[in-house]
């Protein structure tokens, strides 16, 4: 079963405008989805300069088929996005339509100095936001700002905790029409202890 979502078109347009993709830029798109965003990206620098990736083989196959049907042939690859896609690096732009708690360092390493990264950062206690970061001249660090516009995405699956995946897999295997609740492992909730005792 494929698991992806399609980004709201207005949000995609905003992200593409902010990313400022230009002729000659190489672009890595993280989270292929339907392939719609990859088609929009392919229009400016050309499909050969665009690399959409996803961790789900069905999503990759379906997106590639849709793109080819519309005349676009970017390199649509099956990859764990947490590692980026070094085969086509370096990139001038990386756009991620997934949420991450922090920018994976591989993304910074695979972006040219002066290149831009755009993704959604999420935190445990707040909604996070869209972050536009620029890789510095050393190519080892990125600095950025949060955009005033809001957009959120599914979490990058290579970062999702294994116990969360276990719960999801268990729910998917449950017979239709039944409700099941489970905890993938024992949880220990220690009582409060005075400092120095335990």
Q: pLDDT tens for residues 23-82? A: 999 999 998 888 988 999 998 899 999 999 998 899 999 999 999 999 999 999 999 888
Pairwise CA distance, residues 51 & 140, whole Å: 22
Look at residue 148 in the predicted model and tell me its pLDDT. 75
Look at residue 136 in the predicted model and tell me its pLDDT. 95
pTM: 0.74
90 falls in which pLDDT band (50, 70, 90)?
very high
Look at residue 51 in the predicted model and tell me its pLDDT. 97
Query: Is pLDDT above 80 for 181?
Result: no
**Which residue ranges make up each domain of the chain?**
9-146
Task: Identify whether the C-beta of residue 112 lies closer than 8 Å to the C-beta of residue 139.
Answer: yes
Q: Any idea which of 36-40, 114-118, 130-134, 147-151 has the lowest mean pLDDT?
A: 147-151
* CATH of the domain spanning 9-146, picked from 3.30.465.10, 3.40.50.920, 3.40.50.1110, 3.40.50.150: 3.40.50.150
Look at residue 152 in the predicted model and tell me its pLDDT. 63
129 falls in which pLDDT band (50, 70, 90)?
confident
Look at residue 151 in the predicted model and tell me its pLDDT. 64
Pairing mode, strands 111-121 and 77-78: unpaired
Look at residue 99 in the predicted model and tell me its pLDDT. 80
166 falls in which pLDDT band (50, 70, 90)?
very low
- pLDDT over 70 percentage in the chain: 67
> Could you tell me which residues come within 8 angstroms of residue 140 by beta carbon, excluding any fewer than 6 positions away?
108, 109
Look at residue 60 in the predicted model and tell me its pLDDT. 94
């Amino acid at each position: 079963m494929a698991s992806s979502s399609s980004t709201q078109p207005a949000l995609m347009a905003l992200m593409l405008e902010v990313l400022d993709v230009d002729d000659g830029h190489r672009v890595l798109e993280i989270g292929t989805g339907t392939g719609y965003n990859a088609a929009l990206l392919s229009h400016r620098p050309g499909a050969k300069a665009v690399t959409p990736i996803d961790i789900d083989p069905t999503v990759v196959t379906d997106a590639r088929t849709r793109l080819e049907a519309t005349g676009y042939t970017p390199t649509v690859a099956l990859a764990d996005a947490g590692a980026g896609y070094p085969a086509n690096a370096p990139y001038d732009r990386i756009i991620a339509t997934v949420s991450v708690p922090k920018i994976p360092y591989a993304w910074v390493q695979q972006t040219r100095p002066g290149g831009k990264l755009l993704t959604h950062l999420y935190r445990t206690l707040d909604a996070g936001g869209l972050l536009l970061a620029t890789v510095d001249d050393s190519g080892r660090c990125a600095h950025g700002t949060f955009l005033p516009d809001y957009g959120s995405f599914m979490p990058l699956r290579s970062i999702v905790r294994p116990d969360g995946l276990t719960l999801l897999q268990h729910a998917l295997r449950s017979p239709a029409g039944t409700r099941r609740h489970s905890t993938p492992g024992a949880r220990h909730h220690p009582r409060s202890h005075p400092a120095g005792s335990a």
